[in-house]
Amino acid sequence: MSSRRPSSLANTSSDSEISHCPPYQEQHSFYPEGRDEQEISLLQENSSSHYSTPFADPLAESDSHRRYTLHDPGPTTFGAPEYEPVQSSGMKTRAGLNRYGTRKINLVKGAVLSVDYPVPSAIQNAIQSEYRDAEEAFSEEFTHLRYTAATCDPDEFTLRNGYNLRPAMYNRHTELLIAVTYYNEDKVLTSRTLHGVMQNIRDIVRLKKSEFWNKGGPAWQKIVVCLIFDGIEPCDKNTLDVLATIGVYQDGIMKKDVDGRETVAHVFEYTTQLSVTATQQLVRPHSDESTSNLPPVQFIFCLKQKNSKKINSHRWLLNAFSRILNPEVIVLLDAGTKPGPKSLLSLWEAFYNDKTLGGACGEIHAMLGPRWQKCLNPLVAAQNFEYKISNILDKPLESAFGYVSVLPGAFSAYRYRAIMGRPLEQYFHGDHTLSQRLGKKGIEGMNIFKKNMFLAEDRILCFELVAKAGFKWHLSYVKAAKGETDVPEGAAEFVGQRRRWLNGSFAAGLYAIMHFGRIYRSGHSIIRLFFLHIQILYNICQLIMTWFSLASYWLTSSVIMDLVGTPSSHNKEKGWPWGDDASPIVNTFIKYGYLWVLMLQFMLALGNRPKGVVTLYTFSFLYFSLVQLYVLILSFYLVVGVFTGGMLDFNFDDGLAAFIQSFFSSSGGGIVLIALVSTYGIYIIASILYLDPWHILTSSWAYFLGMTTSINVLMVYSFCNWHDVSWGTKGSDKVDALPSVTTQKDDNKKNFIEELDKPQADIDSQFEATVKRALAPYVEPEEDGGKTLDDSYKNFRTGLIQSMNDLKITPFITSLPKVELHIHIEGTLTPALRWKLAQKNNIPLRYPTYEALLDSYKVTYNHRRELNGDNGAPTFLETYYEGCQVLCTEDDFYELAMTYFQKAKDMNVRYVEPFFDTQAHTKRGIPVEAVLDGFLRAQHDGAKQLGVKSNWIFCFLRDHPVEEGLEALRSALPWARTKDGKGKGLFHAVGLASNEYDRPPGLFEEGFLLAKEAGLHVTMHCDVDQKDVVEHMREGIFDVCESAGADRIDHGLNAIDSPELMAALKEKNIGLTLCPHAYHRRQATEVLFPKIRRLWDEGVRFCINSDDPTYMHDVWIDGNMMKVYEYCGLTKSEMGKLVRNAVEMSWADEATKTEILDELERVLGVEEKLIS
């Protein structure tokens, strides 16, 4: 390889010009087909060029800016647009800088914005003169990029409405339309596909003996490549740089809307000879080796403004572009799939040679990397084997019958006129953008079965095509057409992908079976119908086996373990491999483990995202694989034993009847042998007969070990998520950055717009930066593998359920009588009650629906802006007080409290001391009497009707003025349980609430003294990890005057950081009311719970509570206690001690305390008997 630096796209005439060239890499990987190396070498030599400089401007007539009026040709007008020189607008700004002139652009039919933009000189220069100067060529297709802002639905993209495409404008017949659908693939995957497509087009163009391709114009003019990108937001911007490098995209020309009509799709058209390989190597023509050059390729690039799913991309392809181009054959590819050499030619030839062929697919195989190194990954190896076996057994069999059940969208082809009509109508029922137009027939009107069916919409299209009334279209598998695609390499990604595949294929399979009768209305021959009947029976059997496969694998594994491991007359009283005594025991443990991990799959599938529990899924894959390996070893031991006489004793001596009787005896050994041969033997035999056995050596091990996993993990996850049909769209904030255009009317009353006319020199200079980005080595972004907060909560829930010990602790904790000492009554306001009271009191909410209100409760709030900064999320207190707005009347406060008391009763809470404050309500104009009388009635009815006793705690809002709090306490004292007995008995203590930032408890000393004088208790909030929280605790215990000190500390977990405070808490016997879940939202498990455990070990008294449960992911006192049990490692008797702590720390009367403690002892006594 030459060491000198390669030139730019256009060739240079001197070394001084090389500095203008965008750099790119000389290194490249080896391609097996041996063609890329030849092409890339073309980049490393200079040759003569049509222009003398890399970025020469062939269109520039002078250095002055010019202004043009562009007349876009109408739908029936062909040729280049005309440019009318217009007087130049201003040339200089106040800073003395040049500014662009403008040009006037008339809209087609007064509505369609379609504009030609000059491409960079380097791209123009790359076109070979034999194409650029050809008589049949249209010069602007090589010199200008055509942009159309489609402000319509795909069905309205028609000639009548003013839309057109260059191949139709040039009167070219489109024989082959190659479509590449894209979501968010990186530039490497996209380049793999595009370069492979261009190589395949070269295969077609270079055909010398083809009569069809060599008549009626050049072959390349009969082929169009259409790229459809599903939304601006998910699109990888490096991929756009690659497209800009080859000329099919330009930045800065897209329009958000035209006259207020939103642009639905941005359509770019250009014919290029440039390509970029997967290793970021630029490939351009070279005059010395014309046979190796890529031919011109007509590109249509459709960039949809919003993400609206793949099926909508196909509607743009089939209902918009194809209706104008009217192709004979359409090839569908996914970005990332690389067609092999002559694969597209092989697909097209299948259609050309069989006029009744309606659809076809090729062989898809996994991308294995250099030297098949990815086969070391069991997931990749298993998928490679699966693809290979499908291409050897399934696809050829179905092709022989004439109905291939699925033509994969990643690599398939259809005859366009075959799928027109009902097949496409049924296919597009799954497009959510048609839901309003279709009504009940659309996606929004479908039941869950039909929605799942459209997860595999390609299967629907296949069936509809074969069953098309009056026609005899059939489907085929073309072995010569090969495509290479990347496959998931991680457990989580693999599970997520297969959910859609399995659910969609199951529903679509049922659809085909239930509608099989429509086949009789088709035009198929009697012989074809006969074979289709055989195939449908085969599909029914396969569906039944799939349904029972979960049980089948369990029974097969159990039977084989029992046959080999359990001594019996069938195996000559020998247990293998662990001996006669140990083998049954080991097998029993393996079986219980199998069932336990299987149960775990249901828990994970129903409650977790795969990416949130990667470790558990990896463990499941590993365990089932080890079990499968063990069963395989036992199975082959069985086989060996049959032929050596060491195991199953088949009767070979007394004739055929005796042998058959012994073979199918109750031991089941013969059935196992048949299953082994039919399952594993057929794969090996078929692969050898197919002359493609290498996957047996490289990948079979992973597939055989993973068979149990595919059933137990993938099927369970798929069916447990049958409700997840993954419909809907994502909005795009980035669309707002695009400019809008507003038309004006000229003297002839034609609509036009004025647009900046950028000079060629500026276009070229900006292009240099684009090429540098496109050809820069690809750096794979680091995937964020971190768990979300919601994942951690779900993982906790799953951990509780999946643990065998937790199955016992859950009813135990439920049965414990509980005491709740730290719960804010306003923090129990449920979304249902909030919605109800808002409707009743005519209070406007900022949530349009109840579902939106429910979703707002799932938000992870910004705890404190003073500590955490402003992350855009509302603070907890803002949300908390916003919820209070719906509480207006005495009945509202009564219902709030009674709703909580009912919940408390359900959790076996016997006594509660709820916090409340009046300031949050009186400042809204609510009378204090309405608040306190409502709570007072609930206190009485809660105890009488529900058995939940309560004594309440009045709170000062510490972020409000102290005087305001004192006045609130004085106004509430008539409802207190005062020592003089004159109060109504609602509350018996005072505390602190709200934001404590820079608001130490000493500010409220006067209030605490007033409370003490009235005979009330004092408790103080000292929230976790707040500013100066340790000083606040010290102040509450020591520094506030002796008579006003705290009797209890709310939260107080940070005492662990101060030995002085720890000693004081134990000496003064001051308890802490901890709320673990409230802290778990902000602290990792491994940080938080060791602190709580240390408090326990140090002998500091605390109890467990729930704080504001409805705003904290609906985790109540029982959930908080389960967390402490799970993560602190407490025993059941220690959990009982926590309840005893709460009783002793409470300010309940002695009779209530005794009653609760007696019930606690009874529960603990029953548990001890159960354990014994």
Most confident of 127-136, 200-209, 473-482: 473-482
Q: Could you tell me how far CA 1132 lies from the centroid of its own chain? A: 40
488 and 392 in one domain? yes
Report yes or no on 736 lying in a domain: no
* pLDDT attached to residue 796: 60
Q: Across the chain, what does the average pLDDT equal? A: 83
CB under 8 Å to 991, separation ≥6 — which residues? 915, 953, 954, 955, 956, 1018, 1019, 1020, 1021, 1050
- Residue 725 inside a domain? The answer is no
Q: What is the pLDDT of residue 799?
A: 60
Task: Tell me the two tokens of residue 344.
Answer: 């597209």
Least confident residue range of 909-918, 1013-1022, 1075-1084, 1139-1148: 1075-1084
Top-confidence residue, 541 or 866: 541
Least confident of 18-27, 469-478, 1033-1042: 18-27
* 106 phi and psi angles, rounded to 5 deg: -80, 140
Among 49-53, 458-462, 1014-1018, 1099-1103, whose mean pLDDT is lowest? 49-53
Indicate if 528 and 670 belong to the same structural domain: no
Token pair for 1055: 């005492």
- Calculate mean pLDDT across residues 609-621: 88
- H helices of 973-1004, in order, are none
Check whether residue 5 and residue 28 sit in a common domain: yes
pLDDT at residue 793 is higher than 50: yes
Q: Is residue 348 part of a domain?
A: no
For 637, residues 6+ apart whose C-beta sits below 8 A from its C-beta are 564, 576, 577, 647
261-262, strands of its sheet edge to edge = 261-262, 257-258, 740-741
Res 97: pLDDT: 40
> What pLDDT shows up at residue 448?
82
Domain boundary among 536, 564, 591: 536
Domain with 644, as residue range(s), is 548-720
Q: What integer is the mean pLDDT of 21-37? A: 34
Which pLDDT does position 455 carry in this prediction?
77
Pair (338, 467) in one structural domain: no
What is the distance between the alpha carbons of residues 257 and 71, in angstroms, rounded to a whole number? 20
Strands (E), 72-143: 82-86, 101-106, 113-118
> pLDDT band for position 726 (50/70/90)?
low
Same domain for 986 and 853: yes
Instruction: Answer whether residue 146 is part of any domain.
Output: yes
Assess if residue 728 is contained within a domain.
no
9 pLDDT exceeds 60? Answer: no
pLDDT for 42 equals 32
Q: What is the mean pLDDT of residues 15-26?
A: 32
Could you report the per-residue pLDDT of 957-1012, keeping only the tens digit for each?
998 999 999 999 999 999 999 888 889 999 999 999 988 888 888 889 899 999 99
Using 50, 70 and 90 to split pLDDT, how confident is the model at 1015?
Answer: very high
Block residue for tokens 């602790």: 809
690 φ/ψ angles, rounded to the nearest 5 degrees: -85, 0
Q: How far apart are CA 72 and CA 148, in angstroms?
A: 11
Q: Which residues are CB-neighbours of 1047 under 8 A, at least 6 positions away? A: 989, 1017, 1018, 1019, 1070
What residues contact residue 665 under an 8 Å CB cut-off, 6+ apart? Answer: 570
Residue-wise pLDDT tens digits, 746-780: 777 778 888 888 888 888 888 998 999 999 988 87
> What is the mean predicted confidence (pLDDT) over 1034-1050?
71
Percentage of the chain modeled with pLDDT above 70: 82
- 765 and 690 both lie in a single domain: no
999 and 1114 both lie in a single domain = yes
Q: Does 733 reside within a domain?
A: no
pTM tops 0.75, yes or no: no
135: Cα separation from own chain's centroid: 51
Tokens coding 430: 């799954």
**What's the number of domains the chain is made of?**
4
Asked if residues 863 and 876 have their Cβ atoms less than 8 Å apart, the reply is yes
Using the 8-state DSSP alphabet, how is residue 609 labeled? -
Q: Does residue 176 surpass a pLDDT of 80?
A: yes
Q: Verify that 289 and 429 share a domain, yes or no.
A: no
Q: Is residue 543 part of a domain?
A: no
Q: 307-321, 397-411, 1075-1089: which range is least confident on average?
A: 1075-1089
DSSP letters, 349-364, are: HHHHH-TTEEEEEEEE
- 651 pLDDT tier (thresholds 50, 70, 90): low
Instruction: Judge if 313 and 443 occupy the same domain.
Output: no
More confident residue, 482 or 874: 482
Per-residue pLDDT band for 288 (boundaries 50, 70, 90) equals low
Task: Read off the DSSP letter of residue 281.
Answer: -
pLDDT, tens digit (0-9, with 9 covering 90-100), for 1054-1083: 999 899 999 989 988 899 999 999 888 778
What's residue 58's pLDDT? 32
Asked, for residue 929, whether it belongs to a domain, the answer is: yes
Q: Please give the structure tokens belonging to residue 837.
A: 């009271």
| Same-domain status, 871 and 1020 | yes
End-to-end CA distance of the chain: 81
CA distances from 554 to 560, 571, 627 (A): 10, 21, 11
Q: Which of 106-110, 457-461, 539-543 has the weakest average pLDDT?
A: 457-461
Q: The domain that contains 861 carries what CATH number?
A: 3.20.20.140
Span 376-406, pLDDT tens digits: 999 999 999 999 999 999 999 999 999 999 9
Q: For residue 36, what are its two tokens?
A: 């890329």
Closest CA to 243 of 284, 181, 191: 191
Predicted local confidence at residue 56, as pLDDT: 36
For residue 769, which phi and psi values (nearest 5 degrees)?
-65, -35
| Mean pLDDT, rounded, for 729-747 | 66
Residue 114 CB burial class (10 angstroms; 0-12, 13-18, ≥19): buried
**Rounded average pLDDT over 460-484:** 96
Is the model's pLDDT at 209 over the cut of 90? no
Residue 464 has pLDDT above 90, yes or no: yes
Q: pLDDT digit string (tens) for 679-695? A: 788 898 999 998 899 99
CA distance 71 to 105: 7
> In DSSP terms, which residues pair with 117 in a beta bridge?
145
Task: Quickly count helices (H) and strands (E) in the chain.
Answer: 47, 30
Q: What is the pLDDT of residue 12?
A: 32
Which of 503, 536, 569 is a domain's end point? 536
Q: Please work out, in degrees rounded to the nearest 5, the angle formed at the alpha carbon of residue 596 by the alpha carbons of 502 and 726.
A: 25
Three-class DSSP category at 1091: helix
Instruction: Tell me the C-alpha distance between 466 and 403, whole Å.
Output: 7
Tokens at 207, concatenated: 């055909």
CA–CA dist 483, 338 (Å, integer): 5
State how far the alpha carbon of 178 is from the alpha carbons of 181, 334, 685, 1170, in Å.
10, 11, 36, 71
pLDDT at 801: 54
List beta partners, residue 180. Answer: 227, 333
| Res 794 pLDDT > 80 | no
Average pLDDT over residues 903-924: 95
pLDDT for residue 605:
86
Between the CA of residue 1065 and those of 437, 875, 1060, 1100, what are the distances in Å?
69, 31, 9, 7
Phi and psi dihedrals of 596, rounded to 5?
A: -65, -45
Beta bridge partners of 858: none
Q: Are 102 and 756 in contact (CB under 8 A)?
A: yes
Per-residue pLDDT at 122: 94
In this structure, are 104 and 207 located in the same domain? yes
231 shares a domain with 298:
yes
Neighbours of 361 (CB within 10 A): 29
Cβ partners under 8 Å of residue 876, min gap 6 = 861, 862, 863, 1108, 1111
**Which pLDDT band, with edges at 50, 70 and 90, does 804 fall under?**
very low
Which stretches within 395-482 are classed as H helix? 395-401, 416-419, 422-427, 435-438, 448-453, 457-466
Q: Alpha-carbon distance 1044 to 1019, whole Å?
A: 10
